[in-house]
Amino acid sequence: MAKRAGIIGGAGYTGGEAIRLLLNHPDVELAFVHSRSNAGNPLHAVHADLLGDTDLLFTSEIDNSVDVIFLCLGHGEAKKFLETTDIADSVHIIDLSQDFRLGESVKGREFVYGLPEANRDAIKKAHNVANPGCFATAIQLGLLPLAKAGLLNEVHTTGVTGSTGAGQSLSATSHFTWRANNISTYKVLTHQHLKEIRRTLQGLQPAYSGALNFVPVRGDFPRGIWITSYLNCDLSLEEAYELYTSFYEGHPFTHVSKKQIDLKQVVNTNKVLIQLEKVEGKLVIHSIEDNLVKGASGQAVQNMNLVLGLEETAGLKLKSIVF
């Protein structure tokens, strides 16, 4: 019998992606999409691409008989929502905000950090999952094998993100005329995702205390995150490839490429591709994802699959946009 899922905060970008994925999920039925401001309107009134795909309406009611609820709310809003709303204990929560990524709990609910490549067994047993940040996912997947091997030291990381990472609010830096053909940076060396990254890495390499230097760049494209990290490393390129390939063996969405990668290989998919280079004493790791899929709602569905005992890849074999 199909599992049933609900979405809270279904009018935003991650909510919309969760809807798109669940509508086509073979084993899960989208039971409701909650949005106070849009209650009564069809989903396609907000997500215009859904016209012809579903006639479901947004609702202001919460159905506590579902198996799982996705929280697609702003940072700080998820915790507030759980504090003030009655959700049946039996319902699994997958939270896409940053509210529970560092071990926080609410009303006795505890959350497992939902990076399957680091934590799959724990996620399978978890009742609730804190879905990782978009940058955090791509950066961590580039570094996990090194951390497990105890090889991390000071890391230098550049990340270029698409505009969807900033959500749908209107702002000077989201104006088309400004952003088209433009590049800028923000939160240089201070991005909030550094905390959850360090937490995972130290879980694997407890002695790791090197700096994580991260330069986030606003790209002039809508979707995707490109990460390049480098650090001092004695491994040869072949050894490094061996380390990464064996680490990700059995993980269906993370693949190591021996050829040069480019961002559009993964856009609109749940995949992460990793490519390595060795230049003198430094190992360079490139890792790429779609920030809204593997970096948000796709990974949330992957976590749901694990939590509910479904096939990990169910509903996530997505056609790449490529071009």
Nearest CB to its own copies, comparing residues 82 and 296: 296
Q: Give the side-chain half-sphere CA count within 13 A for 73.
A: 22
For residue 75, the minimal CB distance to its own copies (Å) is 19
In what side-by-side order are the strands of the sheet with 282-289? Answer: 184-185, 212-218, 155-161, 225-232, 282-289, 272-279, 254-257
Token pair belonging to 245:
């390939």
Query: Closest distance between its own copies and the C-beta of residue 233, in Å?
Result: 12
Please say which residue, 23 or 122, places its beta carbon nearer to its own copies. 23
Kindly state the smallest distance separating residue 116's Cβ from its own copies, in Å. 15
Positive/negative CA dihedral, 112, 113, 114, 120: negative
Q: Which residues are catalytic?
A: 134
> Rounded to the nearest whole angstrom, what is the least distance from the CB of residue 217 to its own copies in the complex?
7
Closest to its own copies by CB, 125 or 279: 279
Q: Name which of 51 and 88 has its Cβ closer to its own copies.
A: 51
Q: Distance between the two ends of the chain, CA-based, in angstroms?
A: 38
CB burial class (10 A; 0-12, 13-18, 19+) of residue 88? exposed
State how far the Cα of 270 lies from the Cα of 254, in Å rounded to an integer: 9
